[in-house]
Structure 1
């Protein structure tokens, strides 16, 4: 319902009146046809009439919207008397601040705050009523600390009151203890799940580190084997070099005693030396390729599969060098016999 127009001081625009109750708009809403209503009035109207009460156009609750800003400003600036004017309040305030004044008006009737008291008094005489109210409480004369109503002349049972209070406190304490216990169990379960998850994660990390360490050890063993093979190849090459030098020294006296065979021996010796140097370069290239293969195998964790063919190749090369050395020795023996 809207405000009674007789409470307002001055002129009230016709557009600020509700189309249903014809009072000044209270919590206004506006229809698409620009007619304004109180929210309570239009809600009760639309229950039985799905149309505008002014021009009968179709209308529902969903199509309602707030009032225009300029109309709200005009409505808030209207001057209205206090609802307690009949009790003697002479305050005239703007409609915007009316509720603030009425909540603090000294002429407003309010209920007594004492339990059981049905009296309503003006706010300005509330203190006097509370001091004389028959329902006000007073402390027990026996010193138990409980309040006793003034109209209750019969003495109360202090022990029963205290026992009741103790039981209530005990029940509250038990409830709080139960709540704390449930909360602690929930936290412990959460911590336990977290620890189990963390332990599983740490185990996975340890296993991964072990696998990495195993792969590194395999790579190290492969590299050490390649290094030993390389040193063996170098030692064999050095031994072959010394044998060639000895063979060369053995051939020099033979060439001095047999000048006819000198040219042929030199040609044979050059071919043999050329073939040995060629095989030596091939061996160096093979060793370099095997070293590169080992490094690439370390990156893809295939050191063991890559190291076995190299050992077989080194053995085959050693066998080839032995056959070449035997051939040179046979040649030297043949030359000596000749």
Structure 2
């Protein structure tokens, strides 16, 4: 529906009036054949009943409608109109193209967002402020955030599964290129991992809060050198170091929020210390019980500022 003519100052050219509702054009659309213009809502409802122009009865369809030309929109924008909230006490008269921004700030707008001063600080529509319940709204917001977090965790778990499948494909291709089946390569990889992990001392992490989830390149290079010096197979070194940053970690560890949620589960990790460093490896082969949300193949590198015994 168009704008009520009574709200405008001075005369309004008839070319700016919708022939369907008789009001000033609102979000004008134009029929591409006859070039007649209508309010978007008006012509949409009209065409649901009959596919013809309301002015000359020529055939038109929804697909033939196009936005009104710039000159028509400019003429509309220059018209001056009273505020929607005139009956509530606002006496402002503004250009039509500035009406939307005025309504957002209008002190008489019952839907103007204001900051709740009861404690939660959330933006609330002015006419809903008296019935606003801080506890309910905050609980709703927390539930929305938790839902979004769960959705992100599911998505990341799916991505991790895709990565595992992709690595499996790569290993199979490598085996074929070497003229071997994939199974001996898997067996050989498993035995290499087992032999190396067995040689490492068991680690006890006393301060999980000291974890460095985003180590810089220098720190990663130091840990990588330590892995090599511990006789870690070179192919395994590279894969482990890829998993030394939270961007590669599984959903249960991939952000500060999820790590806080799962902090009680850390004690269930079977961790081995990287000799001489405040860092541990948590291998998939020894931590399958943790599930895909907490562990990656072949394993994770966790670097700490302190707290490794």
TM-score, structure 2 normalization: 0.44
- Give the structure, 1 or 2, with the largest relative contact order (CA under 8 Å, sep 6 or more): 2
Which entry has the higher C-alpha Rg, 1 or 2? 1
TM-score, structure 1 normalization: 0.41
Structure with greater helix share of residues: 1
